[in-house]
Each structure stands twice: as structure tokens, then as C-alpha cells.
Chain A
């Protein structure tokens, strides 16, 4: 390495260089572009996710060497079980997705209607709000046990559990949305002397769309967990039921396989809702925080 190369190298590392004159000068702190790129890559969300997933796979592989397959199955066995689930019995996933979609759609509609009623009809407000608040205080397990007594049909049972768990989220969020409508907008709208339905159509529904979508994003993960739980205790079909079966057969690879599929399903649903949100709320200005 020549003297010039050595000096350049020191300068790049932000160190001191001693030129021929003998007096040490402070080199400017230049960051190497390659290092910056690597640092940026390491801090990216996608890279971090890949690294974390890789670490879990490695940990599972190491654990599988020391523990029996029914405790820590090797990643290859888990992938094989996942492949079987996807190709041999895809109906289980479809059934869970259908239950989830039906319950979410029902809760969205009913919860929105209840929220609008709370927000716009003064005499009904305290009663409906009390009902919704009491509902939020009842645990999911209580509803599951009650549903097991009340409904014989497993579909109805799961649907009921999901509905009573999800409706309060939408109702309270929509109520908050209505309270957040600026008074100026209401006055402006009323200056044209609209009917109540027109106020709902032109002002309230477009305004609460953001709240409904935000709630959907928040509850979709919770709803997925609840539908699996409800299937586990109340159905013979669906991902939850299959996980229960796998657990009974000490097939931990299938349990982990289904879990991985559930995570993927949840990520897909979040992505899909984000796309819908991006379209419905396309009027929103981008927010830039300094």
C-alpha cells in the first residue's frame, strides 16, 4: 500500500493523517458509501424481518438436533406439513377465511349502524352505549362458553362469538368518528337544509370511513385469533379444528406449520386492507413530520 493510499484510507475512517510536513491535521469525517448502504439495508424493515425469520429457523434446526421431533421438529418437517395443508386440505383455510370474512363484514355493518345510532340519536345514546360498554367487559372465553350452551349449530356458534366480540370495536370507533365531525361542516351542510338521510350520506358516512377502515386494520389480527380459538373448541372444520387435531396427535410440526400459515394469512389481510384504505382515503394529504 502506498503512502497516499494509506492516508486516504485513514481519512475515510475519519482518523488522523500525518502528511510529509509532520503536523497532524483533522481529516473530515467521511462515511464510506458502502458502509452507509449496508447500515441502511440492516435497518430496513424487510431485512430485519428476514433476519428474524432466519434466526428462528436456525434456532429450530439446532433445537431439533437435541430434542425429539414431537417437541422441536426440524424446519424441513414443518415445511412439509405446511405444503400438505396447502395442497391436500386447502378447504380448511377457505372455511376459516370465510368465517372470518362473514363475521368481520357483519360486525362492520352492525357495529357501524350502532355507532351511528349512538352518535346521532340522543335518546338512544345512553342505552346503546351502556350495552356496548358492558359487552366490551365480557371476556371472549365467557362468550365461547355461553355460545356452546346456546347454539347447537357450530357455524352459528362461531359466528355469534365473533360478532359479539367485534361489534363493540366498530360501534365505539364510529361513535368517536361522529363526535369528531367539525361543527363547521355540519353547519355548512345544514345551510342547504338537507334531510337526515342526506346528512348521513354526504357528511357522516364519508367522514367515518377512515374510522371503520382503521378499526378493521386493528381488529383483523384479533379476529383471526378468535376465529381459530372458536374453531378449536366448537368445530370440526377449519384451521383451529386442524390445530386441535394436530395437538391431539402430538404432531407439533403441523401445529407450527398452521401457525406459520396463520401469520402469513394475517399479513396478507393487513396488506389487502391497506390497499383498500389507500383507495378509499386517497383524498388524504400525505403527512410529513420534520
Chain B
């Protein structure tokens, strides 16, 4: 468990989630501190999205405890209203709403007066460099623009916690890189706590204060804290990339039959 965070805003303590006989999350423990950006990295099917759904309060844990801002996200579902926002893998814009109306949706649900909603939504569109597209419908926007609108929608409610679920993975490399830079800049500027899920190691190194590598079923294999040098210097980043990739690769070997010698403990101690 990442105990570095002074005051954790998200805490998972030995959380297990089973669907019948299938174990999706296996005694997973970690925390995210206030103002911290943490990346959950793992292969497709590693249970990352299940972990996110547990944090969102969409699923109940089979065992262990999940706390978000000191609350149980499922039992205290309404109490977390306005404190938690999610950026999804696909933009999920409502096609009958213009860009500005889509950004305003969360605020409208929080019962912010309509005029204020629209004013703030326009400001957020300007922050994601889309003020000119305010009155366009989603089908009139490119994939990158739609994802920007989607992120503006999540940030517009001014949440304390931002959960990002593979939200750059559908974009091309150039658009994804530009958007990652913009979003991480915004999150740091606003001092939000952010947990983001990705299968791209580069995204994690570039954006996160701390990287948690998950194996399948979701359990912690490796925890690393990228240094500034590793973010800037390509060679240093490549070494870190290789280390994370190796941890994920070791997991494959374990799955192939070396269950007696789990890589998790070794890697965690090495870290």
C-alpha cells in the first residue's frame, strides 16, 4: 500500500472482488493522497476498470474496504455528489447537446443555476481551447475535440477527485500526447487528486506522481515514483518503461505456471 500520501483521499484496503468464481480484484491495497496523481497500469483484463468501479461506488467489494474522502462510495453514494468526477475511455457526449451544454451537464445535475452553468461551461471550453466549438454538436467535432469536451465536463463540477479511465487510449499518438500534457497541467494547476487508469506505460510516466502496476487479477505488482529526470530524459524514461514492462511480463510467466515464485514480492521490495 502506498503509504507515502500524508492524507489519503482514496484508500483501498485488501479489497477483493469476485464475480461468481472469477476473481477480478485480489486483495488490492493502495491509497491516493490529496493533490496526488496516481496511475494504475496493467494489461487489458487486469481488473483496472473493476477497481475503478469499486471506487466510483458502482460495485460493492466482496471483501476489504474502499474509502473515498472518508466515505463508502457505494453506501454513501449521494454524499459524494460533486466531489468525484470521471473521465471515460470514450467521450460519452450526449448527441442532442451542444459542446457547451455537454460541459454544463454535471453542473446542472448539481443544481447550479442555468446561467452560471453556461457561463462556467464556456470558461471551461476556453480552457481546453474549444471556445469556438461551443455551439457545435458532438458529430461536428473530431475525436480529440470530443475528448476535450468530455474532460471539461468532468472538471467543470470542480471535483476534489478525478478518476480517468483510459481516456487517451482511443486517440492517435499526437492528439493523445497533446491532450495528456494539457490535462496533467490542468490537474496540477487546480490541485486535484487524480487516479488514472491506463495500459500505456508512457502515459503513466509522463503524467503520474506515482505508478502502481497491477497484475491479473488486480493486485499490486510494482509501485514506482517517476523522477523529474525520468519524465524529461528519454533514456531514463526508457529504463523505467522497461522495468514496468518487465513487471507486467513477469506476471505472464507467473500465470504460465510459476505460482510458487511470485514476482510481486520481489518487485515491490526492489521498489
The yes or no answer to A90 lying at the interface (CB within 8 A) is: no
B-side contacts of A185, CB under 8 Å = 92, 94
The yes or no answer to B85 lying at the interface (CB within 8 A) is: yes
Contacts A193-B78, A283-B137, A285-B139; A188 near B109 (Cβ below 8 A): no
Listed A/B pairs (27) with beta-carbon separation below 8 Å:
A184-B88, A184-B90, A185-B92, A185-B94, A187-B58, A187-B92, A189-B105, A191-B56, A191-B88, A192-B82, A192-B85, A192-B105, A192-B106, A192-B110, A193-B80, A193-B82, A193-B84, A198-B109, A202-B94, A202-B108, A203-B94, A206-B96, A209-B96, A283-B96, A283-B98, A283-B139, A285-B137
| C-alpha gap A190/B94 in the complex (Å) | 13
| C-alpha gap A131/B185 in the complex (Å) | 57
The yes or no answer to A9 lying at the interface (CB within 8 A) is: no
A-side contacts of B98, CB under 8 Å = 283
- How near does chain A come to B10, taking the closest CB pair, in angstroms? 15
A-side contacts of B154, CB under 8 Å = 191
Q: Which of A182-235 contact B (CB under 8 A)?
A: 184-185, 187-194, 198, 202-203, 206-207, 209
A193: nearest chain-B partner, CB-CB: B81
B-side contacts of A209, CB under 8 Å = 96
B88: nearest chain-A partner, CB-CB: A188
Q: Which of A74-130 contact B (CB under 8 A)?
A: none
Which A positions have Cβ atoms within 8 angstroms of B? 184-185, 187-194, 198, 202-203, 206-207, 209, 281, 283-285
A-side contacts of B96, CB under 8 Å = 206-207, 209, 281, 283
The yes or no answer to B77 lying at the interface (CB within 8 A) is: yes
- How near does chain B come to A65, taking the closest CB pair, in angstroms? 58
- How near does chain A come to B193, taking the closest CB pair, in angstroms? 16
- How near does chain A come to B259, taking the closest CB pair, in angstroms? 35
B94–A206 touching, CB < 8 Å: yes
- How near does chain B come to A163, taking the closest CB pair, in angstroms? 29
The yes or no answer to B86 lying at the interface (CB within 8 A) is: yes
B-side contacts of A285, CB under 8 Å = 137, 139-140
| C-alpha gap A284/B137 in the complex (Å) | 9
| C-alpha gap A193/B82 in the complex (Å) | 8
A-side contacts of B139, CB under 8 Å = 283, 285
| C-alpha gap A189/B98 in the complex (Å) | 16
- How near does chain B come to A282, taking the closest CB pair, in angstroms? 9
Q: Which of B117-157 contact A (CB under 8 A)?
A: 137, 139-140, 154, 157
The yes or no answer to B95 lying at the interface (CB within 8 A) is: yes
| C-alpha gap A192/B88 in the complex (Å) | 13
| C-alpha gap A290/B157 in the complex (Å) | 42
A283–B95 touching, CB < 8 Å: yes
B-side contacts of A207, CB under 8 Å = 96
| C-alpha gap A185/B56 in the complex (Å) | 15
| C-alpha gap A207/B97 in the complex (Å) | 11
Contacts A192-B81, A192-B157; A187 near B109 (Cβ below 8 A): no
- How near does chain B come to A42, taking the closest CB pair, in angstroms? 36
- Chain A CB within 10 Å — which of B77, B90, B94, B109 has the most? B109
- How near does chain B come to A34, taking the closest CB pair, in angstroms? 40
- Chain A CB within 10 Å — which of B81, B105, B137 has the most? B105
- Residues 14-30 of chain B: 1 if any A CB is under 8 Å from the residue's CB, otherwise 0? 00000000000000000
B-side contacts of A202, CB under 8 Å = 94, 105, 108-109
A-side contacts of B97, CB under 8 Å = 206, 283
- How near does chain A come to B23, taking the closest CB pair, in angstroms? 23
- Chain B CB within 10 Å — which of A190, A191, A203, A209 has the most? A191
- How near does chain B come to A191, taking the closest CB pair, in angstroms? 4
A182: nearest chain-B partner, CB-CB: B92
B-side contacts of A188, CB under 8 Å = 86, 88, 92
| C-alpha gap A74/B58 in the complex (Å) | 72
| C-alpha gap A284/B139 in the complex (Å) | 8
Contacts A185-B92, A206-B96; A190 near B157 (Cβ below 8 A): no
B-side contacts of A206, CB under 8 Å = 94, 96-97
| C-alpha gap A130/B106 in the complex (Å) | 37
B-side contacts of A194, CB under 8 Å = 109
| C-alpha gap A285/B154 in the complex (Å) | 25
| C-alpha gap A202/B84 in the complex (Å) | 19
